[in-house]
Structure 1
């Protein structure tokens, strides 16, 4: 029986005390304690409570097989990055710094040969040639690593957001060679705004925050007996490096995208300027698993 404000939280915690799953019991106990304390701290009004519930409902309604508003909300409040760093706390010591998966990864990107192109439709922009090296914590090359890459176009749109791009444009999977090297051709990415036509956009506008992410390429490295590495490599001169809307930039993940205005092009069909990126990735031993795709 509830006789007043002070009785609510103990009553709810008591009702959940017999939850068989110990981890679920721990999480729900902490969640209830914190969210009840939050309501007391801000003296939440009934009108504000209704706005909050409606906000959560709108997140669900805005989510589809092609767009994950729940992930986007977690991104713009920094929760995705926090969870990523909490679960990859050894970053920078024995493995490449991890970064959030984001809401645009698709699990079924087509395979390409090492050195091939991920450009599948007319995509204006300076050519980019990427060379990655994958090694273990002792500096030895790791062969046969599945490397999944994806990026936005120079227009700042992923292909599933843009009807002018072919399906799976600027996405691809390749495999490291015996020296742990993978290479592919693309175009220079550009910074872009996160989708703002849903609850995440409303939150950003209410907080007078810009929606932009600095230009980057996503990498997901997978091999059995190694901890799956999910990360991003950011363009070094992007103006939004310090104010990423989803708080995903760490210093170690800023790559050197070199611009070449002269010299011998790496392919016969391009002229200056073109860009190159070389980046070393370190994987540590662990359990290999793929994340749940946020979209199809």
Structure 2
């Protein structure tokens, strides 16, 4: 069919009406976003000659996706794309330096216990795997120790499951999750049971989508972090273990240069030294977390 069909008067008028462009009231910016999104879908329908049946199969997939959208969004590259967008906005504003940001993922839980001290233990449950030891320092752009920092840490267990999201129900609340109040010199040290990589739920919406795209849904072993401190920009990042076979083939596109430390493995145990560098905050908004919805639990 005519590739310019979406630009015809009838379709353009439909888009204006559907997005409320022709009416007063409502959120002007949201109207524009909605209109452009629907128009983009229409363009795809015309370009690939999508049938009515195929459209409704896609709608059915979205309806069934449910809780797995938190996996689908990184799996199709959208979450990493937002990192790239933020990087470019920073570049245009002349903001450089600092530990690279990377995706948060869908498995953070607010309310983890706030602890302090050296050699903090993140693991509440027994496990048959080795121990991960991580040490390092949080610094500012001039190498200064960051004071008043809180390091949020969370990761999967040796079976690839996160507490609060574990389908086996075996983990206690906040297993492998802590907020660590750092010393005045910005140094931290913690230990936990070695995490494993994992895959999206077999047969679920994310798995089915990856298979139809000819891709896998696997992640390497990794550890997530938020780093917050007064006067500094809050950092969202994670490390992938550099010796994991999937370190460079992460289905969620979280791998970034500078976030691939190779553990020093000694028997069943692994040691990782990793420093964080924060950017200075330009405003109070820089010190805040994004408004992304997150799971909440009480310690």
Mapped contact 1:112–1:118 kept (Cα < 8 A): no
TM-score of the two chains, using structure 2 as the length reference: 0.84
Counterpart CA distance in 2 for 1:111 and 1:104 is: 18
Which residue does the alignment assign to 2:102?
99
1:102 is displaced (CA, Å) by 0.7
What stretches of structure 2 of length at least 5 have no aligned partner? none
Mapped contact 1:196–1:211 kept (Cα < 8 A): no
Mapped contact 1:130–1:278 kept (Cα < 8 A): yes
1:289 is displaced (CA, Å) by 1.8
1:120-148 Cα deviation digits (max 9, x unpaired): 01022111111131111122111111111
CA RMSD of aligned residues (A): 2.1
Counterpart CA distance in 2 for 1:34 and 1:231 is: 31
1:257 is displaced (CA, Å) by 1.1
Which residue does the alignment assign to 2:272?
277
Counterpart CA distance in 1 for 2:28 and 2:136 is: 42
Instruction: Give SS of 1:30's match.
Output: helix
> How many residues end up aligned between the 2 structures?
275
Instruction: Indicate which of 206, 210, 222 corresponds to 2:212.
Output: 206
Which has the higher mean CA deviation after the structures are superposed, 283-292 or 227-236?
283-292
1:33 is displaced (CA, Å) by 2.8
Is the aligned partner of 1:240 residue 2:246?
yes
Which residue does the alignment assign to 1:264?
none
Counterpart CA distance in 2 for 1:171 and 1:79 is: 26
Which residue does the alignment assign to 2:87?
88
Counterpart CA distance in 2 for 1:166 and 1:279 is: 28
Counterpart CA distance in 2 for 1:87 and 1:154 is: 33
Which has the higher mean CA deviation after the structures are superposed, 82-91 or 129-138?
82-91
Which residue does the alignment assign to 1:41?
47
Instruction: Give SS of 2:81's match.
Output: helix
Which residue does the alignment assign to 2:9?
7
Instruction: Give SS of 1:255's match.
Output: coil
Mapped contact 2:116–2:182 kept (Cα < 8 A): no
Instruction: Give SS of 1:164's match.
Output: coil
Counterpart CA distance in 1 for 2:293 and 2:132 is: 27
